[in-house]
Copies of this chain bind each other. A is one copy, B any other.
Amino acid sequence: MQLITIQPEALFQSLADETRLRIIRLLATAGEEACLCELVDSLREPAYKLSRHLKILRQAGLLSSQKEGRWVYHRLVSNLPHLEALHATIHALPDPDHAYQADLARFKERMCLREGGRCRVGILSDDLKMEAK
């Protein structure tokens, strides 16, 4: 499921985007897996955008994704020495404008809606639902 030879620069490439770094920092600090709709509500970014960035992170070997019914849960991969080291780096990153802190706060609140540890609701933020026909 993961590439045998990951080019190191592709690893950093995948973190060189604000949205992707927000995703990774959130999952790293929360120590949790999350589905797309939970990320949408936490980061307040449209689903199509996050979905694409999640794919990039998966291809870079940073995330693994697992489908459960209609939901897809994304979690950090950390079975390699350089990935462990990378997570330590991410934990040590500064948060100058408290953007990550805000993401994490929304995420924690969102996690309260889980039932039996699983997501049972869709996107809650009205302005990010696609149903705006």
Within 8 A of B (CB), among A5-57: 5-9, 11-13, 15-18, 21
Q: Does A94 contact B (CB under 8 A)?
A: yes
Q: Which residues of B contact A17 (CB under 8 A)?
A: 9
CA distance A32 to B6 in the complex (A): 27
Q: Does A92 contact B (CB under 8 A)?
A: yes
Give the docked Cα–Cα distance between A96 and B4 (Å). Answer: 10
**Alpha-carbon gap, A95 to B15, bound state (A):** 19
Complex Cα gap A8–B22 (Å): 10
- Chain B residues, Cβ within 8 Å of A85: 85, 88-89, 91-92
Asked if B96 and A7 make an inter-chain contact with CB atoms under 8 angstroms apart, the answer reads yes
A89 in complex: contacting residue of B9, B82, B96, CB < 8 Å: B82
Complex CA distance for A6 and B8, rounded to whole angstroms: 22
List 21 interface pairs A-B (beta carbons < 8 Å), by A numbering: A5-B96, A6-B96, A7-B18, A7-B96, A8-B21, A8-B94, A9-B15, A9-B16, A9-B17, A9-B21, A12-B13, A13-B16, A15-B16, A16-B16, A82-B89, A82-B92, A82-B94, A85-B91, A85-B92, A86-B89, A88-B89
